[in-house]
Amino acid sequence: MAGQGESSVLMTKHRNRLEDPKRQSQKRRGRPPKIRAGEVYGRAENWRDILDQVWDRLWPLLSNARSEEEVTKAFQDGARPYDQNFVPGLSALTLQVLQEPTLPKRREPLQHFLADSLAGVEVVTPRRSRDICAQERAKRKCAHHILRYEFYIECSCGYRGRSKDHACAKCGAKILFPVSIGSFMS
């Protein structure tokens, strides 16, 4: 009889532990992230702007760099006001990214690739850093947007009510929008 009482106590403790919503909200499934995605995304966006500003001076020097010291010198000479963001801490990572076989050739994709790859600041791999940036951009792109909006209309066919897809629900006559919002406001 004593063994049966112990097992019911164990079952009660186990059941209470599973039903506790406070514990479930604290612990997420999967591996805990090493770095916040928003942090990586924000750094990548900032560095995209910086690289765009200094690219004409930086790229000729950076494309010829074959060692960490040369990468550091390239950033110091070519990206003077912003070089502290990248060197000396990211020289090895920059060299690694520049040697990747998937490195783009054109200017803008190359800047974006470099900024997104370096944004993980050696906490995550360059590939994972690019994936995080892509996920955050996709998340922000579809965050909140209007899927459909309607107007209350009176149509020449006699229909009075809501329009459907910017047209009369009865006859299908389209609502004509002004070319610019400015003409609507004046």
pLDDT 10s digits, 18-56: 455 555 556 778 988 889 999 999 999 999 999 999 999
CB 169 within 8 A of CB 161: yes
d(CA 59, CA 51): 9
- For residue 137, what pLDDT band results from cuts at 50, 70 and 90? very high
Read out DSSP for 40-94? HHHHHHHHHHHHHHHHHHHHHHHHT--SHHHHHHHHHHHSGGGGGGTTTTTHHHH
102's torsion region: left (phi>0), alpha (psi -120 to 50) or beta? alpha
Residue 87: predicted pLDDT: 86
Q: Region 128-143: what's the mean pLDDT?
A: 91
Report how far Cα 87 is from the mean position of its chain's Cα atoms.
24
Helices 68-78 and 91-98, interaxial angle, to 10°?
100
Give the CB-side neighbour count of residue 160, counting CA atoms within 13 A. 1
Q: Region 129-158: what's the mean pLDDT?
A: 82
Domain coordinates of the chain in residue numbers? 37-141, 146-186
pLDDT tens by residue, 145-177: 655 566 788 888 888 888 887 788 888 888 777
What does pTM read for this prediction? Answer: 0.64
- For residue 91, what pLDDT band results from cuts at 50, 70 and 90? very high
